[in-house]
Amino acid sequence: MSFEISRSVTFGQYLNLDSPLHRLDPRTKLLSVATLMTALMICRTPGGLAVGLLAAMIIQIAGRIPLGYTLRGLRLLIITMLFLFVFQSLFYQALPEETIWHWWLLSFSWAGVLQGSLMVVRVVLLYQLTTTLMFTTTLMDLADGVEIMLKPLIRVGMPVNEIVMTLVVALKFVPVLIGDLEQMIKAQVSRGAAFDQGNLLARARTVGATLVPLCINALARAEVLTAAMHARCYRGGQGRTKRRMLTFHLADGIALGVALALAVGAIWLSRGLNV
């Protein structure tokens, strides 16, 4: 049995490609993604999500990222998407004349199937926007962009630099912990552990034998990181300077305008025309 988990997890990875999307300011990408994600959460009709699909296609082409690489991470979300589809389809309360089958709280209708399908499409588009942002922006650029955007909150006493640093460390730990988990699973399999055999309780015990050392290893890494930050005299963001200053260019304004137009168009089709 193969346990190549790191090949299926692409979240948090950066692809060093020379594309127009890579050259944009991180604040532009953050604002554009936030705008499109908000529009996708508001849209409830096929027309609105179709505009979101158009936006995802434009971003995919502008980023020059292989579509297969983007969709690779969806393998781990298939069960989640299937659960969302079934849940939305069976618990959707359609009109009585549209209901094909009904029992207690459960019902089946083509309207429920449509809503379940739209839910799956929404999840895929949200995943695509998030991963594309990570593929085209380094963690340090993301940290600088978020810190600059949240800088006004310093006046109310919020430790912006510490929050951003925690976010960067958490994202940086994702591929590291996945690599550790993959090594531990392979070590357990070489010792005769069977992760795909037995009942649910037996499988839970096998997985638990792997998660416990993984958590201990993560705490040890966190302790080493804390000691390293103290050794480098890290005292938060007070008095810290930036090696590179972020500046907006014409391309950033165009990209942000296109994202805003697509978001408004999606909401208009969904709410205004109800398409």
Task: For residue 129, count other CB atoms closer than 10 A to its CB.
Answer: 20
Contact (Cβ atoms closer than 8 angstroms) between residue 222 and residue 39: no
With the C-alpha atoms ordered 267, 271, 272, 275, is the resulting torsion angle positive or negative? positive
pLDDT at 272: 66
Q: Is 112:89 a contact under the CB 8 Å cutoff?
A: yes
Q: What is the pLDDT of residue 167?
A: 83
Smallest CA-to-CA distance from 19 within 49, 54, 52, 64 is with 64
Provide the residue type at 199 as one letter.
N
Residue 78: the pLDDT is 83
pLDDT for 1 equals 46
14: left (phi over 0), alpha (psi -120 to 50) or beta: beta
Q: What span, in angstroms and rounded, lies between the C-alpha atoms of 36 and 266?
A: 9
This prediction's pTM: 0.80
Q: Give me the pLDDT at residue 113, please.
A: 86
73 close to 127: Cβ distance less than 8 angstroms: yes
> If you count them, how many residues does the chain have?
275
List, for the chain, all residue ranges whose pLDDT scores fall below the cut of 50.
Answer: 1-2
- Note whether 145 and 53 are within 8 A (CB): no
Amino acid symbol at 76: L
64: left (phi over 0), alpha (psi -120 to 50) or beta: left
pLDDT at 96: 73
Spatial separation of the C-alpha atoms in residues 42 and 35, rounded to whole Å = 11
DSSP-assigned letter for residue 69: H
Q: How many whole angstroms separate alpha carbon 259 and alpha carbon 267?
A: 12
